[in-house]
Structure 1
Amino acid sequence: MASADRRAPGSGQRPAAAQTQKVSGRVLDEAGNAIVGASVREKGGKRGTATDAEGKFTLQVKPGATIIITAIGLESQELAAGSAGSLDVHMKGHNAALNEVVVTALGIRREKSQLTYSTQQVKGDALTATKETGVLNALAGKVSGVQITSSSGQPGASSRIVIRGTSSLQGNNEALIVLDGVPINNAQNGNAAGVATTPTTSSPSSSVGGTSRLSDIDPSTIESINVLKGSAASALYGSNAARGVVLITTKTGSLDKKPTVTLNSQYSFENPILPEMQTRYALGDSGYKYFDGDINKGSTVWGPPIDSLVKVGIVKYNKNPMKAFFTTGHSYTNTVSVGGGAEKSSYFFSYSNLSQNGIVPTTTFKRNAMFAKFTNRITDQITATLQLNYTLSNNHSIPEGYDLTDPLWTVYTSPASWNPLPYVDASGNQRVFRFSRNNPYWDLYNVYNNGKTSRFIPVFTLNYRPTTWLSFTERVGADTYSQQADYYEAPSNVLGTVGAVAQLSTNYRQVNHDLIGQFNKQFGDFAVNFLGRE
């Protein structure tokens, strides 16, 4: 007689169904780029993880559970784990401006609503749309409380940025410039005229404007710019950032993306806005005295009416001297870039060529810029990024400001009845309509400054993330450039100067190193964030 089996159902046997299931997938943004560090957790449970450098995650959850995916600046999503256990999630950005993600000090991203200080962001597309050749000039009018001024209208002319007004009467008031977490130099240099000792009869030594070094950065490589205005935002950069910080974030490639080649050509032109001047009366005085500017010279332009002199053939030239002197400026920019990535790495390369001719004849600025950034996920916890920025620029400029060798000084006071060309006579002496002023066209070809700059900015970043709530970042960056400025001033028979030749060589090097630790952990409804820097 068979005995009955008295074991409880399932005793000593495998369970009828697994108690957990494995869920894996990938979290992407709307453009298909991987989202690193997104939080993935089981709803109502304690299990959770974070996406890796490729946006991938793996999590054990209860069968039929719901998972919640959150990321800074993106709308959270709740999804059923499903029976297949594989998910591809595309997250959308917040519509609310308060949840905008911005880059803060040391290149750390935070939601704008969580910040305790003021910051404004400008996207790279907005910068290139202005057709400006310099980064600072492209920022003009886009950030409140920021004043950007250019030293002159010459190509490559230096610009300065002041945030929330002047804070020092004698010291430096310009903001600190930070490129991908590394402070870089934005000094104005390239002026060798101050080295020259030119004996003159009536004028100070020549003043030739320089170029601010931020002009070496190609605007097409910039992803975004954040302007930090509060003292709390700049505390980690020390006293140099007391006047505010301009954070520049460069572009990067994308994981698992085929190479994308982008070609871009820009052309722009500019014409000067000129003040009104009287062109009715000829060179002369008292309304009837006429000076031809060759035999009879003078500085007053209140002679007889020009029309009356033209009718009798005394005057054959009648042109507005400013309109005759200035030309239409042209800027050509050609850029080619390649971006993409594989399973564990991404890359972005860019080359840009700029050629600019100014509204003042002979003035030019040329720049060749090369940029490369490569990111590789060495392990699941370690990611390395290497970027290189190299620029070679040349500029040709003329004297500016209060100086008798500045051609504009003469152009703005020239009579409409005197032809300045040719600027020398048969004996090789200058033709001038008055004494103590060079011919403006003679100045163009005989008093100038040539500058050549080679700049290299390498940055290496190593990120180690042992857990989802703890990370360490090691960053080493350098800013080096060498510059050669040559000033030339020919002897002037008008001013009585003997001429001058001067050379100024500048070599600059700055190395920065940061070790940053971040602690970000959620305790129930509370989040704890900690940042340390060495």
Structure 2
Amino acid sequence: MRAFLFLFCTMVFSLTPKNAFSQNVKINIVEDKVLTVDEVFDLIMRQTEYVFIYKAGMFKDFPRIKLESGTIRANKLLEKSLANNRLKITISNDNIVFIKEMPEKLQQKISGVVTDSDNLPLPGVTVLIEGTSRGTLTDFDGNYAILAREGETLIFTYVGQNTEKRIVGSNTVIHVKMTDDTEELEEVVLTGQGISKKQKAIGYAVTTVKSALIEDRTEGDLARVLSGKVAGLNVTNSTGFSGSGTNIVIRGLTSFTGSNQALFVVDGVPFRNDITQASGGFYNNNQSTNRAFDIDPNDIAEVQVLKGLAAATLYGAEGSNGVILITTKSGSGIPGATRSSVSVSQSTFINAIATKPDYQNKYGQGSDGKYANTLGSWGASYDKDGPLGWGVDPNIDENGNYPHPFSSSTDENVLNAFSNLQGARLKYQPQNSFDEFFKPGIVKSTSISANGNSADGSSSFSTSIGYLDDDSFIPGNSVKRTNISVGGRSKIADKLTVSASMRYSNTNLKTPRNAFDFDGGDDRGGIYPLVLIAPRSLDITNLPYKNPIDNSSVYYRTSNDFNNPKWLAENLKYNQITDRYFWTAELNYALNKKNKYKVENWARCLLYQ
């Protein structure tokens, strides 16, 4: 009876955890601790006059609360303990806090139409209930329907539109008008022939690589710079030589007999990236550079890789393997801040061979456990003792020396030119010819650029000069490249804009023969395989390589039937000089905000020597 009278005479106020207590009520926490909800209530009751009444076990499944030492307002502590739960909190004028669970509200069907700023229906808008995984999409006419409870929040999201939120109330019909997201609308890609579209609105995959990932890299070849930066882009080097050709394949091979190379488009000018292949005995399997090498990576503003077959529609059969769109700094025509600037970039890198063979150091030149002036390394052991040791080899003297290769030559020209070496002997020991021959090279890249804009931003210009000096780790292999580019853009009338760019590159590639064959004459072997298979005990770097009488090649072989790799590097080199010119001019007239009319002209010229 007393409990009934107490409740009957008490005024009760409905509150939330955020405003249950007076703002002046504070709780002191002596040390960091983790408490249950029940323990939090005990803490509050010990330091205040408040009493909590609730059903036993109500909070057994609630998460523990982490508290830090210090002072916290009681309202804040209660809100932290009871957050994200449907509870009804009431407090009497006698500071008694009653807590009970609220019955869960029934879901109701919420429907409506989603439109854009022009009141056109938006299909495919995502409608999601905040804090849950429940959601739906609008249909072709922008209609949606979803089950939600009163008090829940609906989130509407769509590409190119600002996110909208609506709280569910008693009204079961909620129409939403979305507004354009101007920042996201600026994210466009150049799909071909200068046509720009929103990146998420096109029907094929596009990957964009910004200039920060391209500039000042160790590689002077743009194709190799892109390696590993674009999913599905496979870049394969024909050789490890500086300036050697690279194959660029997007999403695998499409032809077993034809070209699989992607089409390059630079500032709207398309050109093929096929490797220039010469013919003849000297050139067999010696691929030269490809034309993407003519592009200076330091002059690139952006690269976009179009991977879908539909992306190549504007370029016909040439673009069937995918398209790599390159916008240069001089051809971008994008106005910036009202200022002029000049930048100078100088980079120096070490160019070293990546991998080398794992050579054995047990047996030297010869065969069948005996020294012989042959190609293999199956001769006597480098150890003196033992059944295969050099101590029992009659061709090696007691000091561990073997006959100089030229003293056993059957070539009269070699015997006559090196009569002083007849009877000479060399130390029978493992040599390091591979490392001594392929010493690290130096790559130096210099870039000077200038750009500026008019005071009103209606005109802009950009120009750059680049120079690449790549001395390879392979003797006789080098690349010198000069790039000059200039471009500008000007708004000559309210809706009329003119832009133009010109680009010139000169590439001078020198490379010794790389392939190996047995054609005879001057085609006797390539530089890399000759070093690779040289006998382990032969020091080819200190061996004479040139006949002092006629300047012909001399090598260790008895018949002198292979070229000396040092002689190859000095005398038998392929030299390719390429001059490339191309320029563009564009007249752009804006009919209105959404439609533009453009007249474009471009030309290209490629000269070989």
Q: Do the aligned partners of 1:73 and 1:101 also contact (CA within 8 Å) in 2?
A: no
Distance 2:576 2:435 in 1: 28
Distance 1:195 1:247 in 2: 35
1:219 matches 2:293: no
Provide closer, same or farther for how the CA distance between residues 425 and 250 of structure 1 changes in structure 2, counting only shifts above 3 A.
closer
1:335 matches 2:447: yes
**Paired-residue identity, %:** 29
Which 5+ residue runs of structure 1 have no aligned equivalent?
Answer: 1-42, 46-71, 77-90, 199-204, 292-296, 485-534
Corresponding residue of 1:423: 545
Distance 2:548 2:347 in 1: 44
SS in 2 for 1:128: coil
Question: In angstroms, what is the RMSD of aligned CA positions?
Answer: 2.8
* Higher fraction of strand: 1
Equivalent residue letter for 2:219? E
Deviations 1:142-171 (A, max 9, x none): 111111111111111111111111111111
Q: Do the aligned partners of 1:432 and 1:439 also contact (CA within 8 Å) in 2?
A: yes
Q: Do the aligned partners of 1:74 and 1:93 also contact (CA within 8 Å) in 2?
A: no
Aligned-pair CA distance for 1:110: 2.1
Distance 1:107 1:391 in 2: 23
Deviations 1:339-396 (A, max 9, x none): 1110321000100011000110121100110011110111011100010101111111
Q: 1:473 aligns with which of 575, 598, 605?
A: 598
Distance 1:122 1:255 in 2: 20
Provide closer, same or farther for how the CA distance between residues 447 and 44 of structure 1 changes in structure 2, counting only shifts above 3 A.
closer
Corresponding residue of 1:454: 579
Deviations 1:238-293 (A, max 9, x none): 12111111111112463552211111111111221112122321111122x113xx
* 1:427-442 equivalent positions in 2, closer than 5 A: 427=549, 430-434=553-557, 435=559, 436-442=561-567
Equivalent residue letter for 2:356? L
Equivalent residue letter for 2:539? N
Deviations 1:382-413 (A, max 9, x none): 10001010111111111223434312121111
Which 5+ residue runs of structure 2 have no aligned equivalent?
Answer: 1-116, 120-158, 164-180, 385-389, 391-395, 402-425, 518-523
Equivalent residue letter for 1:366? K
Corresponding residue of 1:374: 488
Q: So what's the TM-score if we normalise by structure 2?
A: 0.59
SS in 2 for 1:460: strand
Aligned length: 386
Moved more, 218-227 or 255-264: 255-264
Provide closer, same or farther for how the CA distance between residues 452 and 480 of structure 1 changes in structure 2, counting only shifts above 3 A.
same
Q: 2:472 aligns with which of 358, 361, 381?
A: 358
Q: Do the aligned partners of 1:185 and 1:479 also contact (CA within 8 Å) in 2?
A: no
Corresponding residue of 1:57: none
Corresponding residue of 2:358: 276
Moved more, 346-355 or 414-423: 414-423
Corresponding residue of 1:119: 206
Distance 1:178 1:459 in 2: 12
Q: Do the aligned partners of 1:337 and 1:351 also contact (CA within 8 Å) in 2?
A: yes
Equivalent residue letter for 1:329? G
Kindly indicate whether structure 1 or structure 2 has the higher relative contact order, using CA contacts under 8 Å at least 6 residues apart.
1
Q: Do the aligned partners of 1:208 and 1:397 also contact (CA within 8 Å) in 2?
A: no
Provide closer, same or farther for how the CA distance between residues 384 and 44 of structure 1 changes in structure 2, counting only shifts above 3 A.
closer
Distance 1:234 1:425 in 2: 57
SS in 1 for 2:513: coil
SS in 1 for 2:309: coil
Q: So what's the TM-score if we normalise by structure 1?
A: 0.67
Provide closer, same or farther for how the CA distance between residues 108 and 115 of structure 1 changes in structure 2, counting only shifts above 3 A.
same
Q: Do the aligned partners of 1:355 and 1:365 also contact (CA within 8 Å) in 2?
A: yes
Provide closer, same or farther for how the CA distance between residues 362 and 123 of structure 1 changes in structure 2, counting only shifts above 3 A.
same
Corresponding residue of 1:266: 347
Provide closer, same or farther for how the CA distance between residues 307 and 254 of structure 1 changes in structure 2, counting only shifts above 3 A.
farther
Equivalent residue letter for 2:554? R
4+ aligned runs moved over 4 Å, structure 1: 72-76, 91-94, 425-429
Distance 2:247 2:572 in 1: 25
Q: Do the aligned partners of 1:225 and 1:248 also contact (CA within 8 Å) in 2?
A: yes
Corresponding residue of 2:235: 148
Provide closer, same or farther for how the CA distance between residues 277 and 439 of structure 1 changes in structure 2, counting only shifts above 3 A.
same
Equivalent residue letter for 1:306? Y
Report which of the two structures shows the higher radius of gyration computed on alpha carbons: 2
Q: Do the aligned partners of 1:382 and 1:464 also contact (CA within 8 Å) in 2?
A: yes
Distance 2:276 2:356 in 1: 28
Q: Do the aligned partners of 1:267 and 1:330 also contact (CA within 8 Å) in 2?
A: yes
1:305 matches 2:386: no
SS in 2 for 1:400: coil
SS in 2 for 1:104: strand
Q: 1:397 aligns with which of 497, 501, 511?
A: 511
* 1:93-104 equivalent positions in 2, closer than 5 A: 93-94=183-184, 100-104=187-191
1:177 matches 2:264: yes
Aligned-pair CA distance for 1:221: 1.1
Distance 2:468 2:118 in 1: 58
Equivalent residue letter for 1:254? P
1:187 matches 2:309: no
Aligned-pair CA distance for 1:312: 2.0
SS in 2 for 1:211: coil
